[in-house]
Amino acid sequence: MTQTTGKRVALITGCSEPSSLGALLALELAKVHDYRVFASARRVETLKGLAAEGLDILELDVTQADSIAAAVKSIRRAAGRLDLLVNNAGVAGFSPLLDTSIDALRAMIEINTIAPLALAQACVPLLVRGAESGRDAVIANVCSTAKDGLPFIGAYGVSKVGAAGDYKETMHSLTPRQAAATTLSDTLRREVADVGIKVVTLEFGTIKTQMSAGDKVFELAGTPTGLYKPTEELEAATKAMMLRNHSIAPDAASVTRRVATALAADSPPRKIWAGVPSFISRWVIPLLATWLLDAMLRRVMKVREMVRKPVVR
């Protein structure tokens, strides 16, 4: 077993696109913060650019136990430890919840919710070894402000790990804003705090990536109720909203620079916020009455226009 000396070691999932958050974060940690980075993706051929930059690359399907085990084994042999695990791999899609295929939702939850926990469990021995260096190891979960119940993006919001904030984490967080699997991230952070591992939640809104532009969409529709307009029309409207946010969003490079610096710090923050509209999600939405928030989000997403025959009241 080869032990990396003097360099911290990171594993980042979801690095397949050169302009993606995963790939850019991998380069920033390696080139600026002197990490030995294992960049991973489901198809290893998509990582050639990172390999050319001197990064270690791994084929890793985060939904397959055998693939996870093989990746962890490779890191153990090559480096002997792990100081940072970034659960970045994820998929996004849009569909009214009533029209969402249950099988597709299960597949999305497998990728966005279950896989990060599976990676964390598999990496525990290596993370503990990393913490033996005298500095806490870190697990960072890339999450989403889609937690706020944005119409037609509900399945994605439900599936994202750690998507909601802690109860009364700040004086402005007046209510617990729970999304499925949020307990996973919050509980994990508290459970591992005394074993030399920190958990960081990356609360991301829209950032300029292929996903935010609507170029990479996970197919969710499959059980049409007839209550909404055709999937193609609904998708076009949803993408138009995404592109509006995309046009004013920060670029991925600037975000990854800030995130890399925070994760590489001696004492990383519990949560890192970035993107559009993360400020609103963090500070404004918790203060709004439910009826007002409902009205605002329905208007933003043009829900009434997407219903085939709105009921007039």
Specify the 3-state DSSP secondary structure of 115. helix
157: domain CATH number is: 3.40.50.720
pLDDT at 4: 47
Task: Name the most confidently modeled range: 120-129, 201-210, 274-283.
Answer: 120-129
Cα-based angle 234, 110, 224 (whole degrees, multiple of 5) = 30
Which of 45-59, 85-99, 165-179: highest mean pLDDT?
45-59
Q: Quick check: is 312 in a domain? A: no
pLDDT of 208 higher than 80: no
225 found inside a domain? yes
Say if residues 156 and 163 touch (Cβ distance below 8 Å): no
Q: Write out pLDDT tens, residues 54-72.
A: 999 999 999 999 999 999 9
173: confidence class by pLDDT, cuts 50, 70, 90:
very low
Q: How many domains does the chain have?
A: 1
Least confident of 1-5, 32-36, 97-101: 1-5
Does 313 fall in a domain? no
For the segment 274-306, what is each residue's pLDDT rounded down to a tens digit? 877 666 777 787 788 989 989 988 888 889 989
Residue 40, domain member (yes or no): yes
> What are the structure tokens assigned to 260, written together?
């890399």
Average pLDDT over residues 248-273: 90
Taking 60 as the threshold, does the pLDDT of residue 41 lie above it? Answer: yes
Percentages helix, strand, coil for the chain, rounded to the nearest 5? 45, 15, 40
Quick one: pLDDT band at residue 152, thresholds 50, 70, 90?
confident
Q: Give the domain range for residue 249.
A: 9-304
Q: Model confidence over 176-191: pLDDT tens digits?
A: 333 544 567 777 888 9
Sign of the C-alpha dihedral computed for residues 67, 143, 50 and 126 taken in this order: negative
What is the structure's pLDDT at 269? 93
Question: What global pTM score does this model have?
Answer: 0.85
Buried b (16+ CB within 10 A) or exposed e, 129-163: bbbeeeebbbbbbbbbbbbbbbbbbbbbbbbbbbb
pLDDT band at 210 (very low <50, low <70, confident <90, very high): low
Q: Of all residues in the chain, what percent carry a pLDDT higher than 90?
A: 47
Beta bridge partners, 278, equal none
d(CA 89, CA 163): 15
Element (H, E) at 299: helix 290-300
Let me know if residue 86 belongs to a domain: yes
Q: What is the mean pLDDT of the chain?
A: 83
Residues whose CB falls within 8 Å of the CB of residue 87, separated by 6 or more in sequence, listed in order: 13, 115, 116, 119, 120, 139, 140, 141, 142, 161
Q: Is residue 29 part of a domain?
A: yes
Which position has the token pair 């913060």? 33
| Residue 1 domain-assigned (yes or no) | no
Q: In three state form, how does the secondary structure of 181-235 look? A: CHHHHHHHHHHCCCCCEEEEEEEECECECCCCCCCCCCCCECCCCCCECCHHHHH
- Percent pLDDT > 70 in the chain is 82
